[in-house]
Structure 1
Amino acid sequence: MNNREITPDAAGPPPKGATVARRALRDGVYEAILEKLLDGSAPPGSSLGIDSLARELSVSPTPVREALVQLEHTGLVSRVALKGYRVAPPLSPEQLSELFDMRGILEVAAVERAAEHAQDLLPELRVAHAQHVLAAHKVEKLRGSGETPPDFADLREYFAADWEFHLTIIRGAGNRFLTQSAEALSAHVHRLRQTAHHGTMDMQEAIAEHSAILAAFESGDPDRLRSTMRDHLAAVARRVSADG
């Protein structure tokens, strides 16, 4: 896990602006715990002790408790009566099906709307695609030489770039509620991809499918856009299902 500086809770009465500082502290703790979920250092089913996390992060239990409540709402952790919090188990086949069904509904709707001003979106989408390709190259170079970064930083960067390509299209739809819905899914998408056993095996397939989506935007053909996005999501779903 990357080192990040989290300021311990200040003793005594809260100064002016303490609400903002407390929120920043809670958000920092949230990100630190989320990173543990994504990099596999807190595997599915493992317990998340409030006191032990507070000691590890050098904060009081309060922001840890608040962060775990927030994570519970995402479904990534669950609270067990009298036992505290645990990392949620891997998505079941039914949940995977529902997740990809939701992504299909949301992302096909987004691509249809983004197609209306594809020319304005293309420069940003090309950059997002190039960053995805570069991140994949970094993973292949590192792991091809036999290195496996202990904090999975290379894979986190790769999957973040993969998802950013999708978010670029969703934001390009110009509908804030579509964007908010996608952001609500992001933790599940990241965890799904980063904990899949196939690991880096589908990088080239994903890049080729993103290239097809980019080419469809360049063509300006809405039907082609819809079909390439549907094909990509269906292919990812098949790869994940085959892996499970």
Structure 2
Amino acid sequence: MAGDVTWQTSAPLPRRQNLADGVYEALKELIMDGNLDHGSRVNLDEAARQLGVSQSPLREALVRLEAVGLVTKEPFRGYSTTPLFSKEELYDLFEFRFVVEPWAAARAAERITPEGVAALKAELATCPKAPTGQYYQSYRGLSAHDERLHDLIQSLSGNDHMRRALARTHCHLHILRLRYRGGMGTAALREHRQLVAAIASGDAKTAEAAMCAHLEASRDRLLPVYDDPTDR
């Protein structure tokens, strides 16, 4: 763990039964904002001291962070933060998403019900506008909405195997670790509205095209990060 880590997080840690959740969110925020160097070892003693907690909730938090792919555990080395996606890994991720998600959008449109439409619109309402800040605390709501919407579309498609496969990628967290800007969120929410309208229409081809367009735009918004390494 780097010596110049900024340990201050956006909210104080809770002191009773939710302490483990608070430690998890604090470490997640530090990783998402890049305050813990990518690929660096997490020093448990230092982390516990700086966060003012015992190692028990810290270890519990690290197990949860490992499950979402933000840290890895190696024998005799302990936990380290995962490196950012390389350009090749980003392309691989989107190649997978292009296989799974347009199909799911088309299938969801074919199977759509009034209840499904209501669920999609309710999810859109949870994030009516994009955040403007560049730190995780400001865009965490958008990240959660993005994940929930794509999971809901998978659920409406009726294929639980595909749904679980997409969930295991934790793609939304890894993508937002690269860089968030306000313009990204505004464009993503616009595409989400178009996607929901396409699925709600019941037209499978339109829904598939809307998802493809959303994924292409999402990928293209991230590629400039690799052209300017100082922007990461």
Q: Name the counterpart of 1:60.
A: 54
Is 1:49 aligned to 2:43, yes or no? Answer: yes
Any idea what the Cα deviations from partners look like across 1:152-180, whole Å, max 9, x if unmatched?
42211222223322222122223433333
Partner amino acid, structure 2, of 1:192: I
Q: Name the counterpart of 1:230.
A: 212
Q: Name the counterpart of 1:216.
A: 198
Any idea what the Cα deviations from partners look like across 1:57-82, whole Å, max 9, x if unmatched?
44432443354355345442234665
Contact 1:132-1:165 within 8 A present in 2 as well: no
Measured after TM superposition, the shift of residue 96 of structure 1 is: 0.6
Mapped to 2, the partners of 1:182 and 1:41 lie a distance apart of: 27
Please say which structure displays the higher CA radius of gyration: 1
SS of aligned partner of 1:78: strand
Contact 1:100-1:233 within 8 A present in 2 as well: yes
TM (normalized to structure 2)?
A: 0.77
Mapped to 2, the partners of 1:214 and 1:153 lie a distance apart of: 26
Q: Name the counterpart of 2:14.
A: 5
Mapped to 1, the partners of 2:60 and 2:155 lie a distance apart of: 29
Identity %: 31
Is 1:163 aligned to 2:147, yes or no? Answer: yes
Structure 2: which 5+ runs fail to align? 1-8, 227-232
Contact 1:6-1:29 within 8 A present in 2 as well: no
Higher percent of residues as helix = 1
Q: Name the counterpart of 2:6.
A: none
Mapped to 2, the partners of 1:73 and 1:162 lie a distance apart of: 19
Partner amino acid, structure 2, of 1:191: H
Q: Name the counterpart of 1:37.
A: 31
Measured after TM superposition, the shift of residue 198 of structure 1 is: 5.2
Q: How much is the aligned-residue C-alpha RMSD, in angstroms?
A: 2.8
TM (normalized to structure 1)?
A: 0.74
Mapped to 2, the partners of 1:86 and 1:68 lie a distance apart of: 10
